[in-house]
Amino acid sequence: MEPYGIIMTVFIGSLSGWFAGLILKGKGKGFWLNTLIGIIGAFVGNYFFQLIDFSIGTGLIGTVFTSTTGAVILLFIVNLLKKA
């Protein structure tokens, strides 16, 4: 991944972490942790969708969808582990 791609992934990941916190309503971990989970979720979402050969499309909307999906999955897993 080129440096510009990494910077955009971090930026969109931050936005996606915020979206994931809103989607999971009350299951978020606060702004900073949601942002971190969103950034990690962006990489996870990209990897996961490449693994299953699925793409919503290129561009900002596709990237936000992929990143938000990864962040929601990570927040869900974090919440499951916290309950255990």
Q: 56-63 — which CB contacts under 8 Å span 24+ positions?
A: 60/12, 63/8, 63/9, 63/12
Which domain does 44 fall in, by range? Answer: 3-83
Domain count, the chain: 1
Q: What is the largest CA-CA distance in the chain?
A: 39
Q: pLDDT tens for residues 27-56?
A: 556 677 777 888 888 788 888 888 888 877
pLDDT > 70: percent of the chain: 90
Average pLDDT over residues 60-79: 83
